[in-house]
Structure 1
Amino acid sequence: MDTDNIYEALRVSHDIQRKLCRRLLRASPQGGKRQEIYAELKIELAAHAAAEERYLYAPILMDDMGLNSSRHALAEHHEIDELVEKLGKAEATGGEWLAAAKKLSEEVHHHLKEEERKFFQVSGKILTETQKSRLARQYNKDYERMKVVLRG
């Protein structure tokens, strides 16, 4: 992942998340495809959230102007974590699974849209161009590291 600033770096993962959510909802309940895509999405969401919280939310939390938007974004990450856990407990061939997958996909799409349209603008006013570049490097390194850690 070669990106010049934190927002470009995050959008790469955001696009992966959107694609995985679409694939998850289209996956057949037979043959284990749902579980395979779920596992990939779970790792992607967790690795992204961990690195994003460390290298975007934390610095923005330190600025009064970014406090409320950071808290809101963190709360949405927590909601997504809970939806991922709920989906993981659902039977992949049942109707409960599809309802949980739809709810997760909706929340992920909502969060990404809100983050890209609101949070990026607020944080963009707080961070310097140098910080945006440095944070991108730190985010990318941690994001890749977390994917390895989460895959076990």
Structure 2
Amino acid sequence: MGHGGNVIDELMADHREVEEMFGRMQSMATGGQELRDLIDEVTIELVRHSVAEEQYLYPAVREHIEGGGPMADKEIEDHARVEKMLKQLEKTSTDDAQMSPLLRQLMDEVTAHVRDEETNLFPMLRRACTPQQLDELGDKIRRAKSMAPTRPHPAAPSSPTASKLLAPGAGLVDRARDFMTGRGKS
């Protein structure tokens, strides 16, 4: 959940974590509960990561990077597509014929998003911000992830202000549901 370091180090550690989970998914011989648990784990990580980026990273991109507005908008659109896929995966049985194509689509979308952030956005942000600003953003991202929802909410507003107001409450409800069901504990 929280890796430490500046915002770029924090988010890149999240990216590596999700890539490792995708690798485990690809090596699974069958579906069943083990796959469901791994999908839940990926979902929890991606939702928390996305919420934190929308609350703090993309506003910083708008503020510090020349022409950052359209770049932030594109990243938020990527998140919306991923969140819809996560919601669909949540409702799909692991033995459903649609599971494999859905997982492939999710992996492809997330991989492209990660590549874009790491190749374009992060280097620009590193040049535009001071080390102190990047460290402060890393702290904000870690705090946001600790309170963020753990389940996809594609209809939730993605504006930073609305997210900062609504995400902690949704996160509390999601974590309570996860506790009651044992979701994310494997």
TM-score by length of 1: 0.89
Question: What secondary structure does 2:78 align onto?
Answer: helix
Name the Cα RMSD after superposition: 1.8
Question: What secondary structure does 1:91 align onto?
Answer: coil
**Larger fraction in helix:** 1
Q: For structure 2, which runs of at least 5 residues remain unmatched after alignment?
A: 151-170, 177-186
Deviation of 1:89 (Å): 2.2
Equivalent in the alignment of 2:119: 117
Question: What secondary structure does 1:95 align onto?
Answer: coil
Q: 1:118 and 1:41 mapped to 2: Cα distance? A: 24
Alignment coverage as a number of residue pairs: 151
Letter in 2 for 1:151: R
Q: Does the CA contact (< 8 Å) of 2:85 and 2:102 recur in 1?
A: yes
Q: Does residue 1:151 correspond to 2:152, yes or no?
A: no
Answer 1 or 2: higher relative contact order, Cα 8 Å, separation at least 6. Answer: 1
Q: Does residue 1:141 correspond to 2:143, yes or no?
A: yes
Q: Does residue 1:4 correspond to 2:28, yes or no?
A: no
Equivalent in the alignment of 2:108: 106
Q: For structure 1, which runs of at least 5 residues remain unmatched after alignment?
A: none
Q: 1:19 and 1:151 mapped to 2: Cα distance? A: 23
1:47-91: CA deviation from partner (whole Å, max 9, x where unpaired): 011111112111212354211211111111111111111222222
TM-score by length of 2: 0.74
Q: 2:124 and 2:16 mapped to 1: Cα distance? A: 21
Say if 1:95 and 1:26 are closer, same or farther in 2 by CA, change over 3 A: farther
Pairing of 1:27-106 with structure 2 (within 5 A): 27=28, 28-30=30-32, 32-63=33-64, 64-106=66-108
Q: Does the CA contact (< 8 Å) of 2:3 and 2:13 recur in 1?
A: no
Q: 1:62 and 1:44 mapped to 2: Cα distance? A: 26
Deviation of 1:26 (Å): 2.9
Q: Does the CA contact (< 8 Å) of 1:50 and 1:143 recur in 2?
A: yes
Q: Percent identity?
A: 20
Deviation of 1:124 (Å): 2.2
Say if 1:93 and 1:139 are closer, same or farther in 2 by CA, change over 3 A: same
Equivalent in the alignment of 1:13: 14
Q: 1:82 and 1:25 mapped to 2: Cα distance? A: 21
1:16-49: CA deviation from partner (whole Å, max 9, x where unpaired): 111112222333213x111101111111000011
